[in-house]
Amino acid sequence: MWREPNQNVPDQNFINTPNAGGNQQQFNGRVDHNISDRHRFFARFTYWTVDDIGMNRIGNITAGAPSHQHTHQAVLGNTYSFSPTLIMENRLSFTRGYYDDLPPTLGLTTAYTVRHGESE
C-alpha cells in the first residue's frame, strides 16, 4: 500500500521524514598496574551495542528492517623502561564487530525498480 503523493514534483512526489530510534549502550573498563618503578601494565575492555528500530521510510504499513550492531574491543599494554633513554612498549589489541543490517526495502517493489526494469 503506497501513500498518496504529498509533493508536486515529477519523480519526487512523496517526501517523508521517519522517526528514527533505538538504544545504544557502551561499557568501558580499564585496569592499570605498576609492577615496579620500571614496569607498567594496563588492560582495557570496551563493549558497545546499538539496536535501532526499523524506520518506516515510505509511510505505509511496512516498516524498515531493524539494525543490530555489537562491538567488542580488548587492549593489553606493557611498558618497560630499561634506562632513561631506552623504553620498550608492547600493545596487543582485539576488535570484533557484528552487524546484521538489512535493507529497509527488503521484499518491497519500489517505483524505481519497476520503472527501470529491475527484478524484485
Inter-residue contact 95 to 73 (CB < 8 Å):
yes
Higher pLDDT, 13 or 78: 78
Percent of the chain's residues with pLDDT above 90: 42
Q: Is the pTM of this model over 0.85?
A: no
Instruction: Return the domain boundaries, the chain.
Output: 22-115
What does the pLDDT read at residue 28? Answer: 96
Three-state SS for 97?
strand
Tabulate helix, strand, coil % of the chain (nearest 5).
5, 50, 50
Inter-residue contact 57 to 63 (CB < 8 Å):
no
Pairing mode of beta strands 22-34, 39-52: antiparallel
How does the average pLDDT of the chain come out, rounded?
77
Q: What is the DSSP letter of 85?
A: T
What does the pLDDT read at residue 120? Answer: 47
Query: pLDDT by residue (tens digit) across 66-103?
Result: 678 889 999 999 999 999 999 999 999 999 998 876 66
How far apart, in whole angstroms, are the C-alpha atoms of residue 18 and residue 11? 20
What does the pLDDT read at residue 18? Answer: 59
Higher pLDDT, 105 or 86: 86
Percent of the chain's residues with pLDDT above 70: 55
What does the pLDDT read at residue 50? Answer: 85
